[in-house]
Amino acid sequence: VPMGVLSCMKYLMFIFNVLVFAGGTCLVGVGVWVAVDPAGFQDVVAARAVLSAGAWLLLAVGIALSLLGFLGCCGVLRRSRPLLLL
């Protein structure tokens, strides 16, 4: 495989992992917002569903995605196959 292709793949994987990390961080932010101020969230979204369970679910998924994205970025920078496979 030519060196340019490997370099391009490295950058693409890094960008993808940064996007996963950013998405997870956004989910954590929304989860904290819903957990702290459910009334304010209900004003923005007309849904009156079970917000407490949804907030904890958003927090859990957001933390998992943030961790996954962070480990992926570390794996790309260190060229660590175990981190990338995680």
Residue range 5-20: mean pLDDT, rounded: 89
Cβ 59 vs Cβ 35: under 8 Å: yes
pLDDT computed for residue 19 by the predictor: 94
Both tokens assigned to 39: 């009334």
pLDDT computed for residue 26 by the predictor: 93
Summarize pLDDT for 31-74 with one digit per residue, the tens: 888 778 777 766 666 555 556 677 788 889 999 999 999 998 88
Q: What is the 3-state secondary structure (H, E, C) of 16-79?
A: HHHHHHHHHHHHHHHHHHHHHCHHHHHHHCCCCCCHHHHHHHHHHHHHHHHHHHHHHHHHHHHC
Residue 8 has pLDDT above 60, yes or no: yes
Residue range 8-22: mean pLDDT, rounded: 91
CB contact set of 24 (below 8 Å; sequence gap of 6+): 61, 62, 63, 64, 65, 66, 67, 68, 69
pLDDT computed for residue 41 by the predictor: 67
